Structure 1
Amino acid sequence: MSRVSSTAEPPSSVDPPSSDGVALPALLREARARKRWSQWDLALELAVSQRHVSFVELGRSRPSRALLLRWLDLLGAPLVLRNQALLSAGYAPAYDDSPWAAGALREARRAASHLLQSHEPWPALLLDGRWDVLAANSGVAWLLDAIGSTVRPPPTDEAPTTAAPLNLLDLAMGDLGSAILNLDEAAASLLGQLRHEMATEPSLRPRVEALAALVPAQEDPVRFPPTLTTRYASRHGELSFLSMFTTFGAPHSVTLTSLRIELMFPADEFTRSVVGRP
């Protein structure tokens, strides 16, 4: 088998750590491990030698900016990690990291607000990567009131609130969780998702560990249901909801990649008949 020719630059000194203390070699090794590719697999896709991939992952060579961007794209690295890798290699970030309140994201806020309001009277909320609630519609306020919670979510409008964020995971371990009749099932399902998300949002770890401590080990059911239905005890009776998550398509913004809207739908006729009732 002929060897793939290398387009590598000459070896350079070990890359300094990025702004969060993680060096480029470690970022690239971890990204490749998540993809479950060998160095040879990656070298073939990049049309460089396996030796060059090894040198970069050891910090003995620095890739060009173009090669690094293609490298990270092939591995499907999240945008936040791509920016970290570029900074660590001494290059400017490629992806916008404006906060949700920034003018550049005004149209995205309008779109999110429209979707939240259009989903009423069913509950819907906008979450960031830390599971902070950035906005919620009147259906969420109704559900919290129905279960006896005094918590009030941020409103559904285009102006981001400056108040301390309400975190959905904290709520799940507090007022909301105390009203969930199948909390063990719901929390176990959520934990699987959160453990995956910790790879790109390390700040989740304390809350994930706290939630895990509350969930007893569960045996796998003989057959899983088509989707998780969360059941709540309320003053109206038992309410059942299933959820759908929606995200922004093809975002080139670090902030937008972390956002998702949870749309809650009634899972039975009783819930459908009482949602929105005083």
Structure 2
Amino acid sequence: MSITREVMARTRQRDIALCAMSTATAARAPHEPFGELLRQWRGLRRVSQLDLALTAGVSTRHLSFVETGRAKPSRRLVLLLGEHLEVPLRERNRLLLAAGYAPVYTETSLDAPELAVARQAVRRLLTAHLPFPAVAVDRGWNLVEGNASVTMLLSGVSPELLRPPMNVLRVTLHPDGMAPMIVNLGEWRAHLLGRLRREVAATGDERLVALLEELRGYPCEQQVPEVELPAPGDIVVPLRLRGAAGEELSFFSTVATFGTPLDITLAELSIEAFYPADEATGRAVTAWQA
């Protein structure tokens, strides 16, 4: 069995167990003050109480009472506020629980029959991208699925880092992972940490905060730019790798997500596909796959 298939098989078993645990945990989660959560999300989105009230079609007085706990929001209002504040589905369930209502958004394992069509779509995208590497990751950047060419990127990575849940960012930036093979480690590190900071700001996910702090602690001998600036000829931030034969491979990536997800698993799933940034890389990857 290849490294990629073994990792994915173990990951699928873990995901099935975690989805079941997540559902049970949500059902018995302690109620947090709804008003406090709502204020936190208003702060993250930089939306005033007045603006939110106008958008949601309620009076500022009522919204103020809801935030201070003097009034209980209706289920409809909770969902409406979550929609207008663009709260992720997982956190909308938390808002519902805090207001005394049952969660409405499910979290289903990707291997469950209900997500068979979505799973097939993900695997088609990954397979169609061959011979170039592509991965599907969850919100925590844990590997959900990957195509056969991912093995090429994982060559030389410590087996400890490949154990499920295999975190793609950890594998990329860890000194025992891909970091020694990344020619432009400082630039790529700045790019990934910037993306992660933006995701922390968008979701408020404490797990992502912890991951960001962990990654920041990894050593990097190269200068890490504070602002992403293009090098001559670059239109995107490239990933430049040193190949097994000493050649330099250059990739850029695109990210795809489900457009209208109503399940937490699908809402948090993204597919990152790597394309050759030059003809030499394209030829090298094609030859490796053959």
What's the TM-score, normalizing by structure 1? 0.83
Amino acid at match of 1:167: N
1:79 pairs, out of 89, 100, 105, with 89
For 1:21 and 1:83, locate their aligned partners in 2 and report how far apart those are by CA, in whole Å.
Answer: 11
Per the TM alignment, residue 222 of structure 1 is displaced from its structure 2 partner at its CA by 6.1
Correspondences of 1:106-185 after superposition (within 5 Å): 106-145=116-155, 148-149=156-157, 164-172=164-172, 173=174, 174-185=176-187
- SS of the aligned residue for 2:131 comes to coil
Q: Which residue of 1 aligns with 2:101?
A: 91
CA-to-aligned-CA distance 1:53-109 (integer Å, 9 cap, x gap)? 111111221111111111111111111111110111111212122232322111111
Q: Which residue of 2 aligns with 1:8?
A: none
Per the TM alignment, residue 223 of structure 1 is displaced from its structure 2 partner at its CA by 5.1
Correspondences of 1:14-29 after superposition (within 5 Å): 19=29, 22-29=32-39
CA RMSD of aligned residues (A): 2.3
Q: Is the 8 A contact 1:229 1:267 kept in 2?
A: yes
Q: Is the 8 A contact 1:141 1:153 kept in 2?
A: no
Which runs of 5 or more structure 2 residues have no equivalent in the other structure? 1-27
Q: Is the 8 A contact 1:81 1:200 kept in 2?
A: no
CA-to-aligned-CA distance 1:210-245 (integer Å, 9 cap, x gap)? 211335553546657421101001123110000001
Per the TM alignment, residue 171 of structure 1 is displaced from its structure 2 partner at its CA by 0.5
Q: Which residue of 1 aligns with 2:69?
A: 59
Per the TM alignment, residue 269 of structure 1 is displaced from its structure 2 partner at its CA by 1.0
1:251 partnered with 2:261 = yes
Per the TM alignment, residue 206 of structure 1 is displaced from its structure 2 partner at its CA by 2.7
Q: By percentage of residues, which structure has more helix? A: 2
Which runs of 5 or more structure 1 residues have no equivalent in the other structure? 1-17, 155-162
Amino acid at match of 1:201: D
Q: Which residue of 2 aligns with 1:6?
A: none
For 1:68 and 1:221, locate their aligned partners in 2 and report how far apart those are by CA, in whole Å.
Answer: 38
Q: How many residues align?
A: 251
Q: Is the 8 A contact 2:188 2:237 kept in 1?
A: yes
1:205 pairs, out of 191, 209, 225, with 209
Amino acid at match of 1:234: G
1:187 partnered with 2:195 = no
